[in-house]
Amino acid sequence: MVNKVEVRSASVVLVSSGLVNPDTVNPDKLSRAGVVPYEWSVINTVTTELAARTEYANDISISVDGNRCVFWEQIEGPFQPAYEVHDVAKRYADATRLVQYDAIGVNWSLDVIGVDPSGWLRDKVVGLGTVFGDFQTSQVRMVKWAGDYFFNITVVNDNAGILLDCNYHYQVAGNPPHLIEAILDGVDQLQNHLVSDVVSRV
């Protein structure tokens, strides 16, 4: 039996070789640079010396913290053919192509609906239910090298259900800026992998 899986969020993380200027996610600058449309409604901004966050009414946020820039979209529903957050991240990477990025992560957080968390971890992930009995572990993390990227999946028992944090991690240091755009152009292939190799097995 395949359990129902829904998307909680989709996100992209750009990791630079140095600190990212928090002012790069100023909503006015994001609009002028063509990263987000002018008509997007800003609902909250937070700015400090080393970090900043801009939140929009369409459930997308862009934040900077140290050397990381995070693009996050709340979904809460089935898989979609495309996600706005990936296009936002691609436009930001294009607007900041003079920045040296070391890595990019493409991520989905998934909810497995209607399962007993402890039992699912024991039987589905560990596969040693008869040995462990009442399995208490709250988190299992697995990593696989897939040739071009590391595929990381963290399975979390959040008591209400099972959360799958799925990450495709690419090292891009020393590569031309358009590599990030090429990775984000291929997000549909990553999602196909996620659905066929992970979701189909839960």
Q: Which amino acid is at 145?
A: W
Distance CA 160, CA 63 (A): 28
Supply the pTM of this predicted model. Answer: 0.90
Residues near 16 by beta carbon (within 8 Å), at least 6 away in sequence: 67, 68, 69, 99, 100, 101, 102
Q: pLDDT, tens digit, for every residue of 52-75?
A: 999 999 999 999 999 999 999 999
Q: pLDDT, tens digit, for every residue of 15-47?
A: 999 989 999 999 999 999 999 999 999 999 999
Query: Can you give the residue range of the structural domain that contains 166?
Result: 5-201
- In the prediction, which pLDDT does 115 show? 75
pLDDT at 137 over 70: no
Distance CA 199, CA 23 (A): 38
- In the prediction, which pLDDT does 71 show? 98
Burial of 94 (0-12, 13-18, 19+ CB in 10 A): middle
Distance CA 126, CA 141 (A): 11
Residue 6 to residues 21, 47, 50, 92, 95, Cα–Cα distance (Å): 34, 32, 34, 27, 32
Query: Quick one: which of 108, 98, 58, 55 has its CA closest to 78?
Result: 108
> What average pLDDT does this structure show over 147-173?
87
pLDDT band with cut points at 50, 70 and 90 for residue 198:
confident
- In the prediction, which pLDDT does 192 show? 92
> What are the tokens at 65?
């913290």
> What are the tokens at 105?
């992560």
Distance CA 62, CA 71 (A): 5
Q: pLDDT, tens digit, for every residue of 172-195?
A: 987 777 889 899 999 999 999 998
Domain count of the fold of the chain: 1
- In the prediction, which pLDDT does 2 show? 56
Distance CA 38, CA 60 (A): 14
Taking all residues of the chain, what is their mean pLDDT, rounded to a whole number? 87
Residues near 125 by beta carbon (within 8 Å), at least 6 away in sequence: 140, 155
Strand partners, 156: 139, 163
- In the prediction, which pLDDT does 114 show? 75
- In the prediction, which pLDDT does 140 show? 80
pLDDT at 202 over 80: no
- In the prediction, which pLDDT does 136 show? 53
pLDDT at 133 over 90: no
More confident residue, 158 or 7: 7
